[in-house]
Amino acid sequence: MNLNQIMTDLSYFIPEMMLTGILLLVILFDLFQKADTSIRSGYVALGGLILVTIALLGQDVSTSVGIFSNMLAVDPFGNFLKILVTVGTILVMWMSFNSNELKNRRVGEYYTLLLTLVLGMYFLVSATHLLSIYISLEMVSIMSYLLSGYLKEQMRSNEASIKYVVFGAFSSGILLYGFSLLYGLTGSADIFEIQAALSAGTVSPALMMIILVMILVGFGYKIAAVPFHFWTPDVYEGAPAPITAFLSVAPKAAGFAIIIRFFNVALSSAGNPNMEAWAALSNMDWQAVMGILAILSMTVGNVIALQQSNIKRMLAYSSIAHAGYMLLGVVVADQTGIAAVLYYAAVYMLMNLGAFFVAIHIKNEFDTEEIEDYKALGYKAPVLGVIMAIFMFSLTGLPPTGGFVAKFYIFRALIEYGDMYFWLAMIGLINGVVSLYYYMRVVKAMYFGKIELPDTVHHAPVNITILLSVLAIPLLFAWMLGDPLSTFAQNAVQFFIK
Amino acid sequence: MDHLSSYLVLSAILFSLGLYTVVTRRNAVAILMGVELILNAANINFVAFSKFVTHNLDGHLMSVFIIMLAAAEAAVALAIVLNLYNDRGHINVDEANALKQ
C-alpha cells in the first residue's frame, strides 16, 4: 500500500471526511458560544449532516471498491445504509431541538456525540475486516452509553446507562473472543480471506458453531434480538426520549448491516455471494438458528409489549419484535430477502421515529408517558391524534400503510424461498395479530371509551406538525407498486467482493 | 511455553474467569474487571495465533487496538459508575432497579 493508493482510497472517503470536519467544527463552534445553553451548535451539526447526505447521494458507488487494504468497502449496500442512518439522525436532531428534557443544558457535546455515533455507523456498515468491525462497533456502543446517560442528574438516566454499559461491554468482549478464535482458525482477519478459508472446508464445523454463537452474541445485542435484549426496555425508558428514538432505529439498522454483510460475504460460497449464502456452513443448519432467534424476538417482544402501560416501554418491546421481523429476511439472505430487510429498516425508521416523536411532544405538553393518559387525545389534539393513529396502523402492519408493504416483502421473500419457510411466515403473521392488540390500545385510548369532550383544542407547533407529516405521509403512499424506496432498496443489494 | 496450545489454555482460563466474574459479581467495578479479563483473553489469542499460525503482524495489530479501546471503554464505564454512585451511594448493579421490570 503506497501513498498513491491511499490518495485514491481517500477519494472514496469524502462523506466520512466531511463528517469528521463537521464534527470538529461543532466542537470549536461550541467553545465560542456565550450562552451555555445555546443550541446553535446543534444547527451547525444539522446543516453539516444535510451536506453529508447530499455528498452520499452524489457518491458514485456503481463500482464497488475496498479501501484502505480492504478495511472498508464502498458499495451500494453501505451507501444505502449510510443515507438511511443520516436521514434518521437529521430527524432526531430536529426533534431534539423541541425536547423539553434537553432544554436549559449544555447541548454542545450532545450533538458532538451524536455526530461521532453517526461516523461510527458509517464505518460499521462498510467494515470488511475484523478490526474495523470491532472498532466501529465499539465507537457506536461507547457513544450510545454516553448519550443514554446524558441526563446525568436523573436517576433513571444513570440506571439506563449503567445497564447498557455492563451488557454492552460484556457482549462485545464475547464477540471479540469469537473473533480471536476465528482469526486463528482461518489465519486471517480479512473477511474475504476468511471466506476463502471457510469454503476450503478445513475448519471444523463444531468449532465454527461455537465461534458463530459468540459472534452472534455481539451482533444480536446491537440489534436487541432475544435472548440478548435484556438491556433494551430499561435503556429505552431511562434514556432521553430523542436518544431512545434514535437508538431504536439507527444503530439497529447498522447492526443489521453488519450481520448481513458478515454472513453474506464471510460465510457465502466462493465467488457466488447472494446466491448460496450459508454454503460455507453446510454442515449445520445455521438458518434454523437464525429462524429461532427471529421467532423468539417476535414472540417475546410482542407478548411482553402487551403488558406495558408506559408508551416508551411498550415501543421498546415492540422494537424487539420488529427486529424479529427483520431477522426473518436475514434467514432468507438472498437478493429479495436482503432488499426486504433494507426496505423494512427504512419504513421502520419512519414509523418508529414518528411514534416516539408524538410521545415526546405529548410528554412536553401534557407531562405523561402512560398510555391511559392518552385518553381523548384524538379530540384534544386532532392533528396529533390522526398522525399517531397512522403510525400505530403502520407499526401493526395494516394495509395500506408502509408497515404492511414492508411486512409483505419480508413474507413474500420467505414464501418464494421455499415451502419449508412458509411456517416462518405464518408465525410472523400470527405475531402481527398479537401486536394489533397493543398498538390499537393507544388508538382506543385516543378515540373511544368514555370521553368528555375538551373545551380547548391543542395545536402542535408548526415545525413539529411538518416533521410528523414528513414521517407520516410517505407511509400512506408506500403501497404504490414500484415506489422509489423499494427500487432503491433493491438496487442496494450489491456487496463489494474481492 | 513454546506451544500454541499452552497460550490457548491460558486464554481459555482467563476467559472463563472473566465470565464467572461478570455473572457472579454485583459490584459494577468488579463486573468491568471481569470484562477486562475477557478482552485480555482475546488479546492473548490474537498474539499467540499471530506468532504460531499466521506469522504476520495482523494479530499484534488487533491486540494493540483492543488495548486502546478497552481503555476508552473503561474510562466511559467508570464515569457512568461514578454518576451512579453520586446518585445512590452504592454501585451494586442489581439494586439499580428504579425502572420497572
Ramachandran angles phi, psi of A66, nearest 5°: -105, 135
Closest CA to A238 of B76, B89, B80: B80
Residue in chain A closest to B86 (alpha carbons) equals A153
Residues from chain A contacting residue B78 (CB–CB below 8 Å):
none
Report the residue from B18, B39, B93 with minimal CB separation from A166.
Answer: B93
State residue A60's pLDDT score.
85
**Residue A288 burial (C-beta neighbours within 10 Å; 0-12, 13-18, 19+):** exposed
DSSP codes joined into one string, A444-472: HHHHSSS-PPPSS-----HHHHHHHHHHH
Residues of B with CB under 8 A from a CB of A: 11, 15, 18, 22, 28, 31-32, 34-35, 38-39, 41-43, 45-46, 48-49, 53-54, 58-59, 61-62, 65-66, 69, 72-73, 76-77, 80-81, 83-84, 87-88, 93, 96-100
The pLDDT, as a whole number, for residue B92 is: 84
| Per-residue model confidence (pLDDT) at position A337 | 87
Mean pLDDT calculated for residue range A355-364: 91
Lowest mean pLDDT among A132-136, A205-209, A212-216, B53-57: A205-209
Mean pLDDT of A265-272: 63
Q: Residue A492: which pLDDT band, with cuts at 50, 70 and 90?
A: confident
Verify whether the Cβ–Cβ distance A188 to B54 is below 8 Å: yes
- In the predicted structure, residue A364 carries a pLDDT above the cut 50: yes
pLDDT digits (tens, 9 = 90+) for A405-442: 999 999 998 998 877 788 889 999 999 999 999 999 99
Percent of chain A with pLDDT over 90: 50
d(CA B101, CA B98): 9
**Domain covering B4-95, topology:** Helix Hairpins (1.10.287)
Q: How confident is the model at residue B100 (pLDDT cuts 50, 70, 90)?
A: low
Q: Is the pLDDT of residue A282 over 70?
A: no
**A142 contacts on B by Cβ (under 8 Å):** 72-73, 76
pLDDT at B82: 92
Average pLDDT value over all residues in chain A: 88
State how many domains chain A has. Answer: 1
Q: What is the pLDDT of residue A273?
A: 46
In a domain, A127, yes or no: no
Amino acid at A9: D
Contact assignment for B46 to A183 by CB distance below 8 Å: yes
Residue A141 has pLDDT above 80, yes or no: yes
pLDDT in tens, A212-257: 889 999 999 999 998 898 899 999 989 999 999 999 999 999 999 9
**Confidence (pLDDT) at A274:** 46
Q: Who's near A333: CB < 8 A, 6+ residues apart? A: A260, A263, A264, A277, A278, A287
Instruction: Report the residue of chain B nearest A309, measured CA to CA.
Output: B100
Is the pLDDT at A270 greater than 70? The verdict is no
Residue A492, domain extent:
287-498
Q: Would A173 be classed as within a structural domain?
A: no
Can you tell me which residue has the cell 430487510? A341
Q: Where are the alpha helices (DSSP H) in A187-227?
A: 191-200, 205-223
Q: What are the two backbone dihedrals, phi and then psi, of residue A267, each rounded to the nearest 5 degrees? A: -110, 10
Residue A4 or A453, more confident: A4
Is the confidence metric ipTM above 0.90 for this complex? yes
Which pLDDT does position A193 carry in this prediction?
A: 87
In contact, A324 and A315? CB cutoff 8 Å: no
**Which secondary-structure segment (H or E) carries A73?**
strand A72-74
pLDDT for A457: 81
Cell of A287: 438458518
List the single range of A35-39, A148-152, A196-200, A459-463 with lowest mean pLDDT.
A35-39
| Amino acid at the residue A28 | L
What is the pLDDT averaged over residues A372-383? 85
Q: What is the 3-state secondary structure (H, E, C) of A357-425?
A: HHHHHHHHHHCCCEHHHHCCHHHHCHHHHHHHHHHHHHHHCCCCCHHHHHHHHHHHHHHHHCHHHHHHH
pLDDT at A464 over 50: yes
Work out the percent of chain B whose per-residue pLDDT is above 70: 96
Report domain extents, chain B: 4-95
Residue A433 lies in a domain: yes
Q: What is the mean pLDDT of residues A116-137?
A: 95
- pLDDT at position A276 over 60: no
Residue A80: which pLDDT band, with cuts at 50, 70 and 90?
very high
Mean pLDDT over each residue of chain B, to the nearest integer: 90
- Residues of chain B neighbouring A160 (CB-CB closer than 8 A): 99
Alpha-carbon dihedral of residues A50, A53, A57, A62, nearest 10 degrees? 160
- Residue A267 within any structural domain of the chain: no
Q: Which of A177, A194, A310, A313 to mutate to test the interface with B (most CBs of B within 10 A)?
A: A177
DSSP lists the bridge partners of residue A65 as: A74
Distance CA A268, CA A286 (A): 12
Residue A280 has pLDDT above 60, yes or no: no
pLDDT band at B1 (very low <50, low <70, confident <90, very high): low
**Which of A145, A158, A183 is nearest residue B84 as measured by Cβ atoms?**
A158
Res A211 pLDDT > 80: yes
- The 10s digit of each residue's pLDDT in A48-66 is 999 999 999 998 888 888 8
CA distance A178 to A174: 6
Residue A276 lies in a domain: no
Closest partner residue to B77 (CB to CB) among A165, A177, A313 is: A165
What is the pTM assigned to this prediction?
Answer: 0.93
